[in-house]
Each structure stands twice: as C-alpha cells, then as structure tokens.
Amino acid sequence: MTTPARMNGEILHLWLCMLGWQVETGRDGEFTVGLATHCQADGDILRVGGCARTDGELALQLFEQAMETYERTYDKAHRQLTAAA
C-alpha cells in the first residue's frame, strides 16, 4: 500500500519546487536526509537542510525552514529599503 502524497511529503516538495527551490534527498541508514537551495536574483544562495525518519517529516522540515528563511531574508530587505527611503 502506498502512502498518500499529503503524508509522504510530495505536495510540500512540489510547493518548494514551484517556489524555485532545488531539493535533493537521499538515505543515510535509517534516515532520509535532504538539502534545499534557492538562488536569489542578487546571486545569493539560500540553503536549508534536514534529517528525519520519513520522507514526509523531512519534507515538512525543509518546507518550514525554507519559509522561515524567506521571511528573514525579505524582512531584512524590507527594513533596508524602508531605512533608505
């Protein structure tokens, strides 16, 4: 029996890809490990990584970290633009 996509992380992986993230995953013994990268317009590369027992747990870790990284990055840029105005 297969695990529904919403539980095995396929949907979150798809969202990351649609948002421009490149996701690589692999196995390390009992764990699934992964790295997601996003190249920004200014050439900076955002990176997040994780390790979990299941693909779904890893996808959730990567997605949450990616969204937190976006928030930090764009909040910083917004503050800089506001200060310059």
Question: According to CATH, what is the number of the domain 5-84?
Answer: 3.30.160
Average of per-residue pLDDT values in the chain: 89
Segments making up each domain of the chain, as ranges: 5-84
**Per-residue pLDDT reduced to its tens digit, 20-42:** 999 999 999 999 999 999 998 88
Q: Is the distance from CB of 28 to CB of 43 less than 8 angstroms?
A: no
Residue 71 has pLDDT above 60, yes or no: yes
Which spans in 1-85 are helix H? Answer: 5-8, 10-18, 55-84
Per-residue b or e along 57-85, where b marks 16 or more CB atoms closer than 10 Å to that residue's CB: bbbebbbebbeebeeeeeeeeeeeeeeee
Question: CA–CA separation, 68 vs 63, rounded Å?
Answer: 9
What is the mean pLDDT of the segment spanning 53-58? 94
